[in-house]
């Protein structure tokens, strides 16, 4: 499982989560996957989860589950790492969520929307406020999460960069 990356620019792939501190920047690209960016302003520490499905399977050995693939296990793992690595407490954390697009129009089921719903649900259950978000649409996302400021630069394909 991913721990602390000490380089300034941290790349997160599909079904992966990474944590760090300011001035590190965590980057990823999204389609139907959703990125949950958790930030503790007081510690200037945070992490990004890039997950692809809503719920982890319950009929397999928990050790075999790649936690960052799923909203539920991924968010819990990210929270756990922030607490363990940076001493972040429950009330310190805020969230921003991105992605969940339907980039393949021909696909009937809207995985992106389901992922967004799952992210919102798990964050609500964990009492983590979503302070901003940009989700949906039909184009890919490129996001950069600045751990020094907590801001996320988001560029949807073909559009201008916006800050959240």
Partner 1 sequence: MSDQSRINNAITLIARLSIDKSSRTLSKFVRAGARIELERAYVVDVSDATKVIAHGESEVVGALVSLTGDAPFKFLFFVGLKDSFLLADLILRRPLGTTTGFDLYASSAVQEIGNVLATSISNVFATDFQIVMKSTPPMVLHDYAETLFEEYILEAAAEKNELFIIETKFFVVEHNINCHMFIVPLHGSEEVLSSIANRM
Catalytic positions:
33
Binding segment for partner 1 among 31-39, 40-48, 122-130, 143-151 (CB under 8 A)?
Answer: 31-39
CB of 31 to partner 1, least distance (A): 4
Query: Of residues 83, 126, 134, 142, which one binds partner 1 by CB under 8 A?
Result: 142
Cα(12)–Cα(6) distance, rounded to whole angstroms? 14
Q: For residue 9, what are the CA distances in angstroms to 6, 20, 61, 108?
A: 9, 10, 34, 36
Q: Which two tokens stand for residue 125?
A: 């259950």
Q: How many CB atoms lie within 10 A of CB 143?
A: 25
Q: From the list 4, 15, 117, 121, which residue makes contact with partner 1 (rule: CB under 8 A)? A: 15
Q: Closest approach of Cβ 13 to partner 1, in Å? A: 4
Which residues lie closer than 8 Å to 12 by C-beta, 6 or more apart? 18, 26, 27, 28, 35, 48, 50
Q: Does 116 bind partner 1 (CB under 8 A)?
A: no
Q: Name residues contacting partner 1, limited to 38-77 (CB under 8 A).
A: 52-53, 66, 68-69
According to DSSP, the residues that pair with 45 across neighbouring strands are 21, 40
Looking at the Cβ atoms of 69 and 96, the one nearer to partner 1 is: 69
Sites of contact with partner 1 (CB under 8 A): 11-16, 28-33, 52-53, 66, 68-69, 103-107, 111, 139-142, 157
């Amino acid at each position: 499982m991913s721990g602390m990356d000490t380089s300034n620019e941290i790349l997160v792939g599909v079904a992966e989560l990474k944590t760090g501190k300011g001035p590190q920047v965590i980057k990823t690209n999204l389609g139907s996957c959703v990125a949950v960016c958790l930030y503790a302003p007081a510690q200037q520490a945070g992490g990004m989860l890039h997950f692809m499905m809503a719920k982890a399977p319950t009929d397999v050995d928990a050790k075999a589950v790649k936690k960052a693939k799923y909203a539920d296990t991924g968010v819990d793992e990210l929270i756990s790492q922030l607490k363990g690595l940076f001493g972040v407490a429950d009330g310190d954390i805020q969230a921003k969520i991105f992605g969940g697009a339907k980039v393949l129009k021909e696909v009937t089921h809207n995985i992106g929307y389901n992922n967004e719903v799952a992210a919102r649900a798990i964050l609500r259950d964990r009492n983590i406020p979503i302070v901003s978000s940009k989700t949906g649409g039909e184009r890919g996302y490129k996001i950069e999460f600045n751990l020094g400021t907590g801001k996320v630069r988001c560029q949807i394909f073909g559009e201008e960069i916006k800050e959240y």
